[in-house]
Structures are given as structure tokens and as C-alpha cells.
Structure 1
Amino acid sequence: MLSATSRSSASSLHLKSTRHFHRKPSPYTITLYIIALFALSIFIFIYYSKDILDIDDQHKPFSSQSHQLSDEQVQGALSSYGLHQCVEPTAKYKAALGSDHYITVRSNGGLNQMRTGISDMVAIAHIMNATLVIPQLDKRSFWQDKSKFSDVFDEPHFIRSLQGDIRIIRELPGELVSLPHARKHFTSWSGMGYFEEMKQIWKDHQVVHVPKSDARLANNDLPLDIQRLRCRSLYHALRFTPPIENLGKKLVERLRLRAERYIALHLRYEKDMLSFTGCTYGLTDAESEELRVMRENTNHWKMKKINSTEQRIGGFCPLTPKEVGIFLQGLGYTSSTLIYIAAGEIYGGSTHLKELTSRFPNVVFKETIATEEELKELTNHASQTAALDYIISVESDVFIPSHSGNMARTVEGHRRFLGHRTTITPDRKGLVDIFDKMDSGLLNESSSLSRLIIKLHKNRRGAPRKRGGPPPGLKGRARLRFEEPFYQNPYPECICDSKVTTNSSHSA
């Protein structure tokens, strides 16, 4: 119980507090209350309006939402970054005259594998002081293309452009055709020392035949002049024939008439790619079996039994059309975005393609922007139609490959060479984790999904960086295979700082 003194004290306090409560607040106090309420209102408005803006901006093509890519990043606006192309030889460079030594080549693989292989062989012919005979193109690949070199490339331009580097002839001299030739599989990813040793072959043979041209040269630790010769060969000398070049430019102009900007999407959802990688996610049992049989019956594909789930989790599978659609929306592109599909026939046709077109209906192929008459001469010539895809992809505002194949790497490298044009390379392993969370209901399509995708690709948009070396821990020759390909990123040898003159060899 409270004492009388305590009760009196409590009563006094209560009376004071009551009087204080009913006292009229001062102007100063009122001002403080108003300021506090105003600040709170602004905070609430900003917090909740963010989601409203997210919804509203979905109606704007190539949107510039605050949490998404900026206009420049999404639209693919170019920037020189203070860099420029540098492919001219140094003062000490000397052309290879070829003398009486000849190299014949059978290029292997698809268009871009052949292009990079031919550029390697140009450099190798220079190192070995040999005359290069115009290469034979692969006629035994999946596409069974019978095109000759002159059907795809501007042969006179190729010979003329490189006359200051090596001697190139169209055919082997008649008197040498019947002589014994040395058949040589040059070791992949080899350096200068290896090819200097190979010169000993000229003691016994005048002609060396190379059955495969792909990945013959190392990516790094080569003289600056050799690296720049590779760039001159690929970016200047290996020009497509005038008919292909002209049609490619015409199709780019038609795309520009349809929209101010367009994305070139290299959708590697083709039968041979899915079969080769063993990726069957999203396919029916019948489709999966068809791909397995194809892989079993393709002799030069070494891997026969492949765990599709492990492949996908590891990020080794091409993105499906549905996954590409979610990815593009996450990046901030709207349904009105013009998308050019740079690819062959999509496996499953419209059945699988509609998983993309349901989100992005403004999708076109070369068959829909070119006339039947324009494409007639290219029918059944996969290398020539692939050349059109290449031209359109290089010239696009944004290039996005769904898998890191030869075309994806070569187009990325060319776009870097031309000013680091925006190339967004999906982090497939990270995206699969996101897609699986969506499938399990742990994540839905919202602004938070978009922020995750944007954050994941912050540094995957083709900005300047020096070529990467092998993953840590790898030793010996095995490391050479896993270095970033030279033709995917020719920086720093063929791309220089505008403030610095490069006169020495680099390795990245």
C-alpha cells in the first residue's frame, strides 16, 4: 500500500502531467511535427512507388528502370572507352615469302570454327615461311555443305589483303600434286617454339597437308606481330563474298526500318547442339530418345552417355526458349522488342519456339525479312546462310548467345574489336539456380527476380577487359585448353589504349 506521503506525491505528479498534456503546443513544436510527417510521407511514397514504376515501365521498349540496366546498357549504345583498333605490324615485322614450301589445309567444323582455323593457318604459314594454298572448306560436318572457299569468302580480297604477310595461291602447282605430301596434325594450342621446330619438315617435304585447322595456335604468349596478323586475317581479309555482304547489309537496314534497335539472339536450340551436349530439359521422352540415338550414331562425338541433369546444373546446356524469354524480361526488355533469331532450325519448331514468342512476339528470322528469291542461291548452303546471321549479329545493338559455341565467341570478339558493342553473355549456371527456384515456387516473376538477373550480369555485358587466362589450379598443357580464346577477346594485342602506343608482346 502507498503511504499518505506517496499518495500525495503521486497526486501532485498526476496533476502536473495533466496540466502539461492540455497545454497548447508552441509554434516550434508544431513545425517539428509537420517536418517529421512530411519526411515520413516521402519515405512511404518512394518505397511503394518503386513497384508501381516497375509495372508501368514494362510498357516501355528497352526500359530504363532504376534497378535495371541504364538506357545505354540496354540499348547497346557504343563507347570507345578510350580504346582503338591496333593491327598494324611493328617496325621489325617482315613478310613471309613462302619460297618453295607449301601448306594445304582442310578446314573443319562450322563457319566460325573454319574462319578462326583459317586465321590460325595464315599465322602458322607466316611462322613456317610457307606459301598457303587456299583452304578447303569442311563438307562432312552436320550440315553437309558443299560450298567452296570462293562461295563463302571474297577470295581475291583475301589474297590481296595478306600479300604483305604471306604468299597465298589458289591451287598447288601441278608438278607438286603427285609428289608425296607430309600429313601433319599440328598440336592444338601450340606456341612459337613448336612451329619453329616444325620447319624441319621442309628438309624432306615441299608440301605439308593439315587435315584440321581448328585451335592450332595458343591463345597467349605469342609475339605481338603474330597476334595482330591473326586479327588482320579474321577481321579484314576473311570478308564474305559481295553477294553475301550486300544481302547482309540489306537485311540489317530492313531490321532498322522495323525498329530503332534490335537484339540478335543466337538461340542454340538446334537438334545437333542438344544432342551433342545431352541436354533434354523441357523435352518430351520421344524427343530425348531421338537426341540420344543421334548422339550414339555420330562417330566423332566421343561422349555417348551424358547425364542431362548434371549438364544443366553445371551450366553446360543452352538456355531453352522459355528460359531465354524470362531472362530477357528480367533484363528489362519489353514485349515490343525486336529480336532477330540467328540460328538454324529450332528443335521442335513452333512448339518450343512459342515459349519465347508468347513473351516476345516481335521475333524474326532471315526467312521472314528476306525474300524467297534472295535466299534461293543460299539454299542448302549452311555456311552461306550462317554468314548472314554473322553479319546481322555483329551489327546488332545487343548480341545475346544462349550458349558459348564458336559463333558466340567469334561474334563477341568481333564486337569487342569494333568498339566493345554490347554483348550480354548469360551466366547459365546462375540462371539455372534461379529458374529452379521459380519451378519450386520459391521465386516468382517480379521486380526482385529482375534485380537478381541484373546483378548476376552486371559484369557480363562486353565491357573492356584483358583476355582471361586458365582457371586457377590447372597446370601443364591442360591449362591451355581452358584459357579464354584469343578470338573471343583480342584485347590487348589488337585493341590499344588511345593514349598508349603498344610496341611489345602481351600475354593476358
Structure 2
Amino acid sequence: MVNKGSSHNRTSSTARFLPRKRSPYAITLYIISLFAFSIFIFQFYTRSMLEEDEQKSHFSEEIQSKQMPEEPLWDAPFSFGLHPCVKPTSKYTAAQLSEHYITVRSNGGLNQMRTGISDMVAVAHIMNATLVIPQLDKRSFWQDSSTFSDVFDELHFIETLKGDIRILKELPKNLETVPRARKHFTSWSGVGYYEELTHLWKDYLVIHVAKSDSRLANNNLPLDIQRLRCRALYHALRFSPPIESLGKKLVERLRTRGRRYIALHLRYEKDMLSFTGCSYGLTDMESEELRTMRETTNHWRVKEINSTEQRIGGFCPLTPKEVGIFLRALGYPPSTLIYIAAGEIYGGNTRLLELMSRFPNIVLKETLATQEELKAFASHASQAAALDYIISVESNVFVPSYSGNMARSVEGHRRYLGHRKTVTPDRKGLVKLFDKLETGELKEGSSLSFHVRQMHENRQGAPRKRRGPQLGIKGRARLRTEESFYENPYPECICSSKRQHEMT
């Protein structure tokens, strides 16, 4: 028998638990709430993941900086026992009394004149001539009125080279009015060229040389001639006593401030930027000013220059900001003491602050020396540059932002003195990295450091023989592509034999 009452009760009970039909408004509100909650959850987890990645990045960089040992940043490259050797060989012929004279007008800045004078010492020896103390360039960009004795120790120069050539302070009175053979010696010439020129002695007692820079070849010269060039540059051309004295004081003050320091040759100066046609990072007004200067400078052969192509090719000086990024990527901490070896930075403190934001411990001549000490060097760019030269040669690390005459001379001198650490930036490679930083493809940190350190592993002044000419270039043009003798005097003036030791 069917119990109808029981069936009715079950139906009524089940109905209480079935969902009621919802209104469209309730359904819409429910969907919106669910969507909002989903967005909140997504943002929460995304933010957490980003913060975690950022913390990992910072942690990675902290670990990297802690793992980067300090000593490799400062230690000089292994020199394999190499040392200076400039004494003449047994075949060397000493100076002979000569009634033929060479007068010289040196050209260029300090280091261009120094290497040029060293060349003239060797030329005078080859031509068996008496060298008259050279006249320094007073018509260059700096308009410096300094004489030879203002910049160099004249008596020391004469005395040191007395076994090589005779040197007089002035041309003898009886020869001041005689006709002179005025010559522009061919650049990068060998011994044969100058031996042929001795026929001039038949008609002239005096040869006047209008320019002194790059008058001798870098390679394929007799060993004794190469060593004579080194004796002249590294031993005879000592700076004048006032410059030497203040230079040593400034080095001592830097050592007192910090046990070690970097000498940074920051060639971000008006003349260099104008000469190279580099306007990256400059204002339109500054770019126009540099262009005008280039076009109105007579002896600058290239007038129209594509600034972008110059930078991509690595022919521009690094900017102060780029130098800061570069040094941090190498691993130098912000506390590093840096001496700026340079003239007035183009753009002044505004540009220098781009470096100081990363390395606040920056020192210049004007902050290291007193006004009274620098008073004697005011308006004498060559003498001020000599102070920079001394401080740069004695630094723990030398970093040039551009491969100009100063950079090459300092690097060569540091190689001669035992291959002191010199980090030469690969400007062409660095520009590619800097551009990636600007586009966001790369960020400062461990990744950039890896690339920069790898790029400069073999650019720290370690011993190597001087590079020859670039392949594929013929004729005399190839000589221009050779590495300068004064940039790397190895192997002629640097050797491992214990029998040849440095000149004292």
C-alpha cells in the first residue's frame, strides 16, 4: 500500500534545498565581484613575483661585488721579469764633435713635443749634428708661452745625453744670420732617409726643422737608435725642478687620502671634442659651437664629420657618464679615489656630476693643490699637463678615456717602468653596450659587468710586443697604422736579460 502522505512530505522537504531563481541584477553583481577579486589576486601575486625578482637581482649584485676580490682591481699585470734596458750595445758609436747644427721648432701639446724632441735627439745622432735646445710650440690651441727650461730640466737634459750628442742652449752667435736649410722631414722615416740628408752639410751649417713630431719610424730602426730614443724620453727629458717638486707632493697627498688611486685622463675637453667631431650627449648649441671651432681651425684637415659614425667606430672620447658606468662595471667601488688628469671639462660641473654621481671621491689639481702652489702654472697649459703626467705615471691604475698623445705616452712610460696597470677602454665595444643600456636591452649590474670585464681582460697593460701595421694597407699609409714606439717600447727598451739593466 502506497503511503501518499509520506511522498508529499519528501517532495516538500527537497524543495527547500533547491536554488531559487536569481534576478539578472544579482547575477551581474556576482560576476563583477568575482572579476574584481580575480584582478586583486593577479596583482598581488604579480607584485610579489616582481619584488622577489628585484630582491634576487640586488642580492646577485651584492654577491657579485662581494665575490669580486679587491686586489685584481689594483694589481699590476705579471711582468715575467721584464725590466728597462737602454744602455748602448758594444757597436754603438759615441757622439763626435760636430760643427753642423740642427734647430727645432717643436709642435703640439706637451707629450707631442716630448716625443718629438726625443726623435730629434736620435736624428741629430744619425746626422752627426749638434742639437740646439728646441723651441716649444707657442701657437697651439693653448697659446702657451713656456720655454724649454720652464718645462724641462735643461741642464739635466744636456748632461744626460752628452755621450750621445752635443747639445747647446743657443746657436753660436756667428751662425745666427747664416742661411739655413729649412726642412719638413718626412714622417716615419728610417735611418737611410736621414743619412741621405747629410748631403745638406755641403751647402749649409744649420738645418732648421719646422716640425718635430713623428719624424722617425716606429719599427725597423737599429737597436741603438731605439734605445737612444728611450734614454732621451725617459731619462733626459726630466721636468723642471718646480714641476717635479709639486708633482711629487701631489702624489703624496693622494696616497695620504687613499692608499691607492686611479688617474683618469678624461679627455672630454673642447678642443678634442671639436677635433674628433663628437657631439653625442651635447646640446644643439654646444654642437654648433664645436662645429664652428673645427671649421675655423686651419690645420685640422677634416672639417665635415659624421658624429654618429665617429661614435659607433669608437673614435670619440668616452663621456664622464660613460666612464662612470665603465669603472663600476669593472668592479671599482663608489669609494674609489679618482684623480682627474685633464684640462677644463666641456660642460663644466654639469658633465662632471654625471661621473661624481657614481664616484663622489673625485680630485682635481685645483682641489688637491693650493691656489698659491698653482699660481706659477696659471696660463701655462704645458706645465699644468706635466703635473698631470707625473701623477698619472705614478698612479696605481691609469685609465684614458681617449687614445691621444698623453694616453699613449703615459701607457708607454708605465710599460717601461714595469708594466704598471693601465686599463685601455675598448670604446667601439663599449658603445654597443651603452646603446643597449639606453634602449633597455641591458641594465647596469652583473650582466653588464660580465661583458665589460670579459671585453677588457687583455687590455690592462700586460707585456706584449708592439703591434705592426694593419693588414691590407699599402705604401706609406701603413706606417700611420702602426702602434707608436713611445706607446710600447717593447722589445727594444724592455728585456729580460740580467746583463742589461735600467739606466741610473
**TM-score, scaled relative to structure 1:** 0.86
- CA deviation after TM superposition for structure 1 residue 499, in Å: 6.0
1:205 aligned partner = 204
Partner of 1:141: 140
Asked whether the 8 Å contact 1:103–1:133 carries over to 2, the reply is yes
Q: Residue 347 of structure 2 aligns with which residue? A: 348
Q: State the one-letter code of the partner of 2:357.
A: S
Question: 2-side partners of 1:255 and 1:76: how far apart?
Answer: 18
Task: Please list every run of 5 or more consecutive structure 2 residues that lacks an aligned counterpart in the other structure.
Answer: 1-54
Q: 1:445 aligns to what?
A: 444
Range with greater deviation from structure 2 (376-385 or 492-501) = 492-501
Distance in 1 between residues matched to 2:157 and 2:150, nearest whole Å? 13
C-alpha change, 1:281 and 1:232, in structure 2 (3 Å) is same
Q: Which amino acid aligns with 1:251?
A: L
Alignment-derived partner of residue 52 in structure 1: 59
Secondary structure at the aligned position of 1:487 is classed as coil
What does residue 13 of structure 1 align with?
A: none
Cα distance, 1:351 vs structure 2: 1.0
1:124 paired to 2:123: yes
Aligned-partner residue type, residue 215 of structure 2: R
Give the 3-state SS of the residue equivalent to 2:486 in structure 1.
helix
Secondary structure of the structure 2 residue equivalent to 1:388? helix
Q: What's the CA shift string for 1:81-101, capped at 9, x where partnerless?
A: 211110000011112325110
Partner of 2:229: 230
**Aligned residues of 1:466 and 1:489 also touching (Cα < 8 A):** yes
Distance in 1 of aligned mates of 2:67 and 2:188: 43
CA–CA separation in structure 2 for the residues paired with 1:450 and 1:439: 16
Confirm or deny that 1:406 pairs with 2:405: yes
The whole-number CA distance in structure 1 between the counterparts of 2:452 and 2:497 is 34
Partner amino acid, structure 1, of 2:413: H
Residue by residue over 1:147-178, the C-alpha shift from the partner in whole angstroms, topping out at 9 and shown as x without a partner, is 00000000000000000000000000011010
What amino acid sits opposite 1:105 in the alignment? V
Aligned twin of 1:310? 309
Give the Cα–Cα distance (whole angstroms) in 2 for the partners of residues 100 and 72 of structure 1.
Answer: 56
Aligned to 1:397: 396
Where 2:170 maps in the other structure, the secondary structure is coil
Q: Relative to structure 1, is the Cα distance of residues 234 and 151 closer, same or farther in structure 2, using a 3 angstrom cutoff? A: same
Q: How does 1:348-497 map to 2 (within 5 A)?
A: 348-497=347-496
Assess if the C-alpha contact under 8 Å between 2:261 and 2:396 holds in 1: yes
Q: What is the CA distance between 1:76 and its match in structure 2?
A: 3.4
Partner of 1:74: 73
What's the counterpart of residue 322 of structure 1?
A: 321
**Larger C-alpha radius of gyration, 1 or 2?**
2
Q: Deviations over 1:81-122 (max 9, x none)?
A: 211110000011112325110000000000000000000000
- Deviation string, structure 1 residues 382-421 (Cα, Å, up to 9, x no partner): 0000000000000000000000000000000000000000
Q: Distance in 1 between matches of 2:500 and 2:114?
A: 29
Post-superposition offset of 1:54: 3.1
Distance 1:206 1:378 in 2: 37
Number of the residue aligned with 2:52: none
Whole-angstrom CA distance in 1 between matches of 2:77 and 2:309: 38
Amino acid corresponding to residue 374 of structure 1 in structure 2: E
Distance 2:388 2:123 in 1: 29
The Cα of 1:473 is off from its aligned counterpart by 1.1
Question: Quick one: structure 1 residues 500 and 97, their matched pair in 2 at CA, closer, same or farther if it must change by over 3 Å?
Answer: closer
Partner of 2:217: 218
Q: TM-score, normalised by structure 2?
A: 0.87
Q: CA deviation at 1:57?
A: 5.9
Q: 1:54 touches 1:447 (CA, 8 Å); kept in 2?
A: yes
- Structure 1's 424 and 165: CA in aligned 2 closer, same or farther, altered over 3 A? same
Contact 2:268 2:317 in 1 (8 A): yes
How far apart are residue 49 of structure 1 and its match?
8.8
| Residues 1:304 and 1:499: Cα distance change in structure 2 (over 3 Å) | same
Relative distance call for 1:122 and 1:185 in structure 2 (3 A) is same
2:41 corresponding residue in structure 1 = none
* Residues 253-264 of structure 1 mapped to structure 2, 5 A cutoff: 253-264=252-263
Contact 1:96 1:130 in 2 (8 A): no
Report how far residue 432 of structure 1 moved. 0.3
- CA 1:500–1:439 in 2, change beyond 3 Å: closer, same or farther? farther
Look up the SS of the partner of 1:292 in the other structure. helix
Relative distance call for 1:140 and 1:64 in structure 2 (3 A) is farther
Instruction: Verify the 8 A CA contact 1:82 1:498 in the aligned structure 2.
Output: no
CA distance in 1, matches of 2:97, 2:332: 53
Distance 1:51 1:98 in 2: 72
How far did 1:205 drift?
0.4
**In the TM superposition, what whole-angstrom CA distance separates every residue of 1:282-306 from its partner, at most 9, and x where no partner exists?**
0000000010111111111111111
Alpha-carbon separation, structure 1, partners of 2:60 and 2:234: 43
1:83 corresponds to: 82
Helix, strand or coil at the partner of 2:103: strand
Matched residue SS, 1:103: strand
1:499 and 1:51, CA in 2 relative to 1: closer, same or farther beyond 3 A? farther
Q: Is the 8 A contact 1:64 1:332 kept in 2?
A: no
CA contact (8 A) 1:106 1:213 kept: yes
Provide the aligned length of Structure 1 versus Structure 2: 447
Which residue matches 1:34? none
CA contact (8 A) 1:79 1:419 kept: no
Residue 87 of structure 2 contacts residue 500 of structure 2 at CA under 8 Å; is this kept in 1? Answer: no
Deviations 1:355-407 (A, max 9, x none): 10111110010110100000001100000000000000000000000000000
- Would you say the 8 A contact 1:339–1:363 is kept in 2? yes
- Within 1, Cα distance between the matches of 2:265 and 2:418? 20
For 1:89-100, what aligned pairs fall within 5 Å after superposition? 89-100=88-99
Aligned residue in 2 for 1:277: 276
Cα distance, 1:52 vs structure 2: 3.1
Root-mean-square deviation (CA), in Å? Answer: 1.6
3-state SS in 2 of match to 1:311: helix
- SS class of match (1:304): coil
Aligned to 1:189: 188
Taking the aligned partners of 1:262 and 1:131, their CA distance within structure 2 comes to 42
The residue type equivalent to 1:472 in the other structure is L
